[in-house]
Amino acid sequence: MTTPAPVPLASTVVGDTGAPVVFLHGLFGQGRNFTQIAKALAPDARSLLVDLPNHGRSAWTERFDYLEVADAVAAHLRGGFAADGPVHVVGHSMGGKVAMVLALRHPDVVDRLVVADISPTARGSLGEFEHLLDSLAALDLPSLTRRSDADDALAQRVDDPRVRGFLLQNLRADGDTFRWQANLALLRRDLRAIGGFPDLGDAVDDGPVLWVAGERSDYVRPEDGPTMRRYFPRTTLVTIKGAGHWVHSEQPAAFVSVLRTFLELGA
């Protein structure tokens, strides 16, 4: 099978000075989800907030494949942000898997790696994401007259208003109608691939890696340690108290603190 050319990606730069840091979001997310974290790292970091394929302003694809997504990110970085050398990369959840594949497949692009609340395994709690995707697919977009209608309808299936707000960032007004900015049909169809992890053979990244886990999350488990350290032997695991899966939004101060320490920002 011929590997398709990397799709074009959208991204936003936050900050003018400091170490270059790239942020890769999770499923349903966008680069802008890391805006507050990036601002908190300034002026010691200049951050690039990337919209991954099928999310935000980036192009859609015909399938989901971690190798192809990592190749697209590598091409985007080499074309600008990492043109002068390797950069730090921070990835959460799905973006954490992309970040790991990027480091293993394109080691010249990545300096220090931060993987937030995900493991390089095919095991994961997909039930929650299946429910969220089904809930979004059930919304009758032609019947919506304003954004609050979508929130009211989604509340019947998703109790947490914060989660609804996160999901509905993907809803865009298009004249008198609404549309999904994210490629929800593909994400729903290829959810098993998103929950998996590719076979990267004997690839190893010998650089320093920070593995961040949420105390109340089950996406990082003790049994994942050997696999993580096979790929990344210099891994340091840090657990953030009081955080679930969305560690950067649930405990932003703690997340910024561990980033500053590991990336040696402002040292």
pLDDT digits (tens, 9 = 90+) for 154-168: 999 999 898 899 999
26: in domain: yes
**Does residue 104 sit in the same domain as residue 220?**
yes
- pLDDT tens figures, 187-231: 999 999 999 999 999 999 999 999 999 999 999 999 999 999 999
Closest CA to 167 of 253, 97, 246: 246
In terms of residue numbers, what domain contains 217? 10-122+200-263
Q: How many domains does the chain have?
A: 2
Which pair of tokens denotes residue 14? 């936050």
Burial of 150 (0-12, 13-18, 19+ CB in 10 A): buried
Rounded Cα–Cα distance for residues 166 and 141 (Å): 17
- Confirm if 93 and 119 have CB atoms less than 8 A apart: no
Rounded distance between C-alpha atoms, residue 8 and residue 30, angstroms: 15
> Angle formed by the axes of helices 66-78 and 94-105, to 10°?
70
3-state secondary structure of 37: helix
CATH number of domain containing 72: 3.40.50.1820
Residue pair 71/197 in contact by the 8 Å Cβ criterion: no
- Across 71-88, average pLDDT: 96
45 and 95 share one domain:
yes
pLDDT band at 124 (very low <50, low <70, confident <90, very high): low
Inter-residue contact 170 to 184 (CB < 8 Å)? yes
Instruction: Indicate if the pLDDT at residue 2 is higher than 80.
Output: no
Main-chain phi, psi angles of 41, to 5 degrees: -85, -20
Contact 192, 96 (CB under 8 A): no
Record the pTM: 0.94
User: What values do phi and psi take at 55, rounded to 5?
Assistant: -135, 155
Closest CA to 150 of 169, 134, 131: 169
Quick one: 171 and 224 in the same domain? no
Whether 2 is covered by a domain: the verdict is: no
Mean of pLDDT values over 82-88: 95
